[in-house]
Each structure stands twice: as C-alpha cells, then as structure tokens.
Amino acid sequence: MRALNRNLSVLIPDGDSYTLRIVLNCLSENKNWKIHVIASELPKTIACSNKITEIHALPNLNKENEIDWIYGINNVVETHNIDIILPIDEKAIRCLSKNKWHVTPNKLGLVPPIESFNKAINKGELSKYLTYNQLPSPTTFLFSEHEICEKSPINFPVIMKLIEDYIGGGAGIILFNDEKSLNHYFLNNKIEFPYLIQDYIEGYDIDCSVLCENGEILAFTIQKATMKDISDFMPPLGVEFLYNKEVYAIIEELMISLNWSGVAHVDMRYDANDNSYKIIEINPRFWLSLDASLMAGVNFTHFYCLASKGVEFEVPKYKNIRYLNLVGLNKAIKKNLFFIFKFKFLVNNTPLKFYKKDLLPMAYMVFYKLKSIVKKALRF
C-alpha cells in the first residue's frame, strides 16, 4: 500500500439515496476534498448544502439502463478528474459490482463480490448461508409468494418478513405471539412476495459496522441500542458504542467467509435464552447511524476512500459514547426539559453539530416544516 499525497475528488453516483445527507456529513469532514453528487433530482434541503462541490444530473438507475447509467458516471469521472466512485446504497452497489468491468479503470471504490452481495441482500439466501456455514442465526423457514403459513413451524413468538426488503427500515416485519394472530393475518392479507417465518429472539439489538477488503476488517464499530423507535424493528433512536469480543469474532468469521469488500452494517441480536449473539441481517451499504460512528471516532467514509486508493492505516479505535439522532433528542427533551442544557452532549453526541456547519439546509427544513404546519392550520 502507499501514502496519500493529495486531496481527493469523490463522486457519489446515487445521490437519490436517503442516506446521502448522513454520508455528506461524514465525507465533508475531509475539509479539502471535493464531493460530486449524481442525482436525477435533489431536494432543496440537500441541493443547497455547502458540502457538495457540484451536482450532476443523470436519470435514476433501473434494470434497463444499468450500462448507460455507468457510462454517464464514466463521463463525469473523466470530465471532472474524479479519484473515487463511492456508491452508498444497495441498488448502485449491486449494479457497479455486477458491471465493474464497464467502469473507468481504477476509479471504483471497494465493493463486495456480486455473489456475496446477493447472499447478503436476500434474507432467504442469507439464512441458508449462515446455517450451512454454522454461523449463529435464528431458526428460519422460507415460503414462496402466495403460500400461506397455516401453522407456525416453530414455537411462538415468531416474526414474518419479506425475503428481500421491498420497504426497508424495519417496516413490514410483523410479530405473532400465537397461532390465532398468525391465522388472522393470512386470512386478511394477500402475500405477493416470498417471505420467511423466523424465531423471535428475546433480548436486545447489538450491531456491528465494518469496512473490509477481501474479507479483512479494516475498520469497525459495535453499537447497542439504547432508545427504541415506535417499533422494535425500526432503527433505534439512540445507541451506545462498546467493544464485544464475541460479537467481533462472529463478524470476523462472517466477513472472511464472504470475502467481503466495502462497507456493511450487520444487525445482530443478543439471545437471552442461551446467552449468545445471533446474526439477523446484513445491510450491504452505508447505514443511518454512520455519523454516530464518526462521533465515536471512526469516519467510515474517510477510511473507505483511503482503502480504495490503496492507502495503509491501522484499525482505528473508537470511544465508548452514547448517541441520539434528532428524533431521539426530541424524545429525550420531551421526557426531561432540562436535557436541553446538556450542551456538551448536544454538540458531541447528536447530529446538531453538522447542521451548525451547514445552516442553509436547516433553514429550508424549518421553512418547509412551518409551511406544513400553517397549511394544516388553515384547513380548520
């Protein structure tokens, strides 16, 4: 590997992703790097950001235009002297991994082998893979679309979820506590996609985020949920960073077996019944608590770019801190008004610091929020 002797120009090809704002927050910590974004259309709350050097328009990626979309990326790369193509969401990562030979040579950042990506993204394939490789996971049974689960194959409680996540963010996951609720659901709903029935694990969420190259972990953080959203299956509003030797060992074995390259966020669950940790899902993309990892001391976007350019670095250490996203912060303040006076926490353990550095998008967000409130008031 070699040293990086200049600033970088980075291209995010999938700027329509809902994770763009969070990736920009982290990537812009590299003060002199240029950040280019490709998108079909960006909302004003992001398009006005001072973190973006230039926005380039391309049609949305779909199955029919993959090669044309890549050629559009190549044109931006060559015209603007881009150093690294950094895909941030599943659709773009899948496309670029599958068609990497069409990409301008030596420009694409780390992406997983397409075979490994397909195993990770499909919950059914992942379940079979984990079982075959004797990696810890919940008991799972697979069903085809339109197939009705008349009787649970495992003891209650169980959860049902789609094999490939068509919704995201934990939506569409349903908990059944008994046979009656299971039968009632299938009696009143038509299932049009393959799904699975899985053992519900009594315990708590604990996740591991990684950056890898050929199965080797180059950077990681481990986080435990501390504040839930309205559903247990949605991403948490608050997390605590910690180190867990057993969790790391499981993730290390998983990444080696997949020969993983690029980033991933692995959802895990502590099983209180047998005092073990189990792999639930792999999110083969950048994740919503990416800025939390940054505050803990690991800027995954920075190390992703370094690793993609062949720059050597030691595995970064991270701090044991607590973090709240904006919804979690609002919830904490509602519960205890004096929380608003914890200035050090607000600056160092919430996303507020990023809005302070980039005020115009925040102004737009406040404007649209007030506009929505006024519209609702005028209806009455």
For residue 64, the domain's CATH number is 3.40.50.20
184 and 209 part of one domain: no
Model confidence at 323, in pLDDT bands (50, 70, 90)?
A: very high
Q: Which residue has the higher pLDDT, 169 or 138?
A: 138
For residue 323, the domain's CATH number is 3.30.470.20
Looking at residue 95, its pLDDT comes to 98
Q: Which residues pair with 199 in a beta bridge?
A: 158
133-155 average pLDDT score: 92
Does residue 361 surpass a pLDDT of 80? Answer: no
In-domain check, residue 125: no
In-domain check, residue 374: no
Count CB atoms within 10 A of the CB of residue 88.
27
52 and 165 part of one domain: no
In-domain check, residue 174: yes
In-domain check, residue 123: no
Looking at residue 75, its pLDDT comes to 98
Does residue 87 surpass a pLDDT of 60? Answer: yes
Give residues with Cβ within 8 angstroms of 164, minimum separation 6.
Answer: 121, 122, 123, 124, 193, 194
Model confidence at 141, in pLDDT bands (50, 70, 90)?
A: very high
194 and 207 part of one domain: no
48 and 13 part of one domain: yes
Average pLDDT value over all residues in the chain: 91
Q: Which of 73-87, 161-175, 248-262, 366-380 has the lowest mean pLDDT?
A: 366-380
88 and 156 part of one domain: no
- Tens digit of each residue's pLDDT (9 = 90 or more) over 118-128: 999 999 999 99
Model confidence at 24, in pLDDT bands (50, 70, 90)?
A: very high
51-68 average pLDDT score: 95
239 and 305 part of one domain: yes
Q: Which of 70, 49, 51 is nearest to 59 (CA)?
A: 70
Q: Pick the last residue of a domain from 174, 199, 224.
A: 199
Does residue 112 surpass a pLDDT of 90? Answer: yes
167 and 86 part of one domain: no
**What percent of the chain has a predicted confidence (pLDDT) above 90?**
78
Q: Which of 197, 14, 174 is nearest to 93 (CA)?
A: 14
230 and 101 part of one domain: no
Looking at residue 1, its pLDDT comes to 47
Interatomic CA distance for residues 309 and 7, integer angstroms? 12
Does residue 129 surpass a pLDDT of 70? Answer: yes
In-domain check, residue 267: yes
233 and 331 part of one domain: yes
192 and 210 part of one domain: no
Interatomic CA distance for residues 33 and 28, integer angstroms? 7
341-354 average pLDDT score: 92
Q: Can you say how many angstroms the Cα of residue 160 is from the centroid of all Cα atoms in its chain?
A: 21
In-domain check, residue 91: yes
189 and 242 part of one domain: no
Does residue 203 surpass a pLDDT of 90? Answer: yes
Model confidence at 377, in pLDDT bands (50, 70, 90)?
A: low
Domain range for residue 18?
9-109
169 and 221 part of one domain: no
How many domains in the chain? 3
In-domain check, residue 114: no
Model confidence at 42, in pLDDT bands (50, 70, 90)?
A: confident
In-domain check, residue 364: no
**What percent of the chain has a predicted confidence (pLDDT) above 70?**
91
Q: Which of 25, 18, 7, 17 is nearest to 290 (CA)?
A: 25
